[in-house]
């Protein structure tokens, strides 16, 4: 009898966690196959690597296709379903949580890099190759960040984001070559969704629908239905994640030129960032979780295996967002909270990126023997926070925003190439921490808002049959 009970328990566990286990197996198998193919000694061409990556690329395209409709419908339906005062409280709690965790991540990263000093050894200076040329000032990047919050065309915001570019005009007598401040100011729309603008528009639309009352019911029902439909499609796509991450990881390892930098010149830097991500993800976040919910996070983190494996395989917090929402729904969280908090978190909450950029900037300063005063460290922390908010939730987006942070320390943009060799792997780890932080944030906000939600629900029920709640508003799955 005990044996039968144990067997039933194992079968039940496998049934509930089959997809998670398959995804983790996909990551491990992809890593092993990638190493094995490299060990053959055959030099794989870019085209051959592309063929290996193709199935994973299709999976990633499917996930990215869901981002815009899911993000807009989720935020609008969530805010429209909540009482205006309650949505304000939920939003404020989410922003406070995200700002707190990002600040903690930056401080932790700075503390580790100034203590361990991975760039102190002059022999560890790798060769510099010009990878990213600087064509904008830090001020322009921050102004662009604010501009993108207010898109001039919401349709265009689904496919492109605004960007300022400084160009040298030989015919301009006021332009001085090498001094970006004197260059001609141009702008263009960069390919890729303006997620900040979409989030801002969705929040305003959701608040408007909530304020309109019964008049907005048809439009609210549309967004509720669209959100649920997107989650059903996400459920179908999720079952492709084991194969998708398998091919993505395999191809990525195949195309790496050399692993010597991981354990050689950049080994100490790599371990410093990894230690910071681990301490933040399973230390700082856990402490904040316990303080806010009076519960241990272990049980919840154990249920995020699918989310973490997908984040590691795709290196994109935006692409993982549909899976994160589904995971939180499976935990029994109020859908209005998850559909409000998770999309915002996937957009502005990049703890792993903030920590990594702070460490990378000071590491490069140590290599270049630049003295880091307290003022410069504070400037790095502020810029790293702003840069992480502006970073897109796509693979290696942090490399682009690193230009802002390096400019704060007075380092050239070309120095980004010093850490390029290990960024592909660190990107996967910091993305994993980003999505874990988003999910834990949704749980914390839901826990802190529970009393307000119950009060709002009781008030709606007292108002009679004319104010029935939809399935989403009731929190039913």
How much is the pLDDT for 460? 61
How much is the pLDDT for 129? 46
How much is the pLDDT for 201? 92
Name every residue whose Cβ is closer than 8 Å to that of residue 419 and which is 6 or more positions away in sequence: 266, 269, 360, 363, 364
How much is the pLDDT for 264? 64
Which residue from 343, 363, 353, 361 is spatially nearest to 428, judged by alpha carbons? 353
How much is the pLDDT for 265? 63
pLDDT tens per residue across span 207-258? 898 888 888 889 999 999 998 898 889 888 888 888 988 998 888 888 776 6
For residues 417 and 404, give the distance between their C-alpha atoms in angstroms, rounded to a whole number.
15
**Residue 165, phi then psi, degrees to nearest 5:** -135, 135
Residue ranges in the chain modelled with pLDDT below 50: 1, 128-131, 393, 464-477
Domain boundaries, the chain: 1-460
CATH topology for the 1-460 domain = 1.10.3860
What does the block give as tokens for 426? 């660190």
């Amino acid at each position: 009898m005990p044996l039968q009970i144990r067997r039933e328990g194992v079968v039940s566990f496998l049934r509930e966690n089959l997809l998670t286990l398959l995804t983790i197996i996909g990551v491990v198998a992809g890593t092993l196959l990638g190493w094995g193919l490299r060990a053959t000694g055959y030099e794989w061409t870019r085209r051959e690597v592309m063929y290996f990556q193709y199935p994973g690329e299709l999976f990633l395209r499917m996930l990215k296709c869901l981002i815009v409709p899911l993000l807009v419908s989720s935020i609008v339906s969530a805010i429209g379903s909540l009482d205006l005062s309650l949505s304000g409280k939920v939003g404020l709690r989410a922003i406070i949580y995200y700002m707190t965790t990002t600040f903690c991540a930056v401080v932790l990263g700075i503390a580790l890099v100034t203590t361990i000093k991975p760039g102190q050894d002059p022999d560890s200076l790798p060769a510099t190759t010009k990878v990213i040329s600087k064509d904008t000032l830090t001020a322009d990047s921050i102004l662009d960040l604010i501009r993108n919050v207010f898109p001039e065309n919401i349709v265009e915001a689904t496919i492109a984001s605004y960007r300022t570019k400084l160009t040298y005009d030989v015919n301009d007598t006021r332009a001085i070559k090498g001094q970006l401040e004197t260059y001609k100011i141009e702008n263009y729309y960069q390919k890729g969704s303006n997620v900040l603008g979409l989030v801002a528009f969705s929040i305003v639309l959701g608040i408007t629908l909530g304020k309109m009352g019964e008049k907005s019911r048809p439009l609210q029902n549309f967004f509720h239905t669209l959100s649920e439909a997107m989650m059903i499609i996400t459920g179908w796509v999720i079952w492709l994640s084991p194969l998708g991450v398998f091919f993505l990881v395999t191809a990525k390892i195949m195309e790496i030129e050399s692993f010597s930098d991981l354990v050689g010149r950049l080994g100490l830097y790599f371990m410093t960032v990894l230690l910071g991500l681990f301490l933040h993800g399973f230390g700082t976040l856990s402490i904040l979780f316990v303080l806010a919910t009076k519960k241990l996070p272990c049980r919840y983190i154990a249920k995020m295996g699918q989310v973490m494996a997908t984040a590691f395989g795709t290196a994109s917090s935006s692409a993982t967002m549909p899976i994160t929402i589904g995971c939180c729904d499976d935990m029994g969280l109020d859908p209005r909270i998850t559909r409000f908090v998770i999309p915002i978190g996937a957009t502005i909450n990049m703890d792993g990126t903030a920590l990594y950029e702070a460490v990378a900037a000071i590491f490069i300063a140590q290599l270049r023997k630049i003295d880091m005063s307290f003022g410069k460290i504070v400037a790095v922390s502020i810029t790293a926070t702003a840069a992480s908010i502006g970073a897109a939730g796509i693979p290696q987006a942090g490399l682009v925003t690193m230009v802002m942070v390096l400019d704060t320390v007075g380092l050239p943009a070309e120095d980004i190439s010093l850490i390029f060799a290990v960024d592909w792997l660190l990107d996967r780890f910091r993305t994993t921490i980003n999505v874990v932080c988003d999910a834990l944030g949704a749980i914390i906000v839901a826990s802190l808002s529970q009393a307000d939600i119950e009060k709002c629900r009781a008030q709606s029920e007292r108002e009679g049959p004319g104010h029935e709640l939809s399935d989403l508003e009731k929190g039913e799955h």
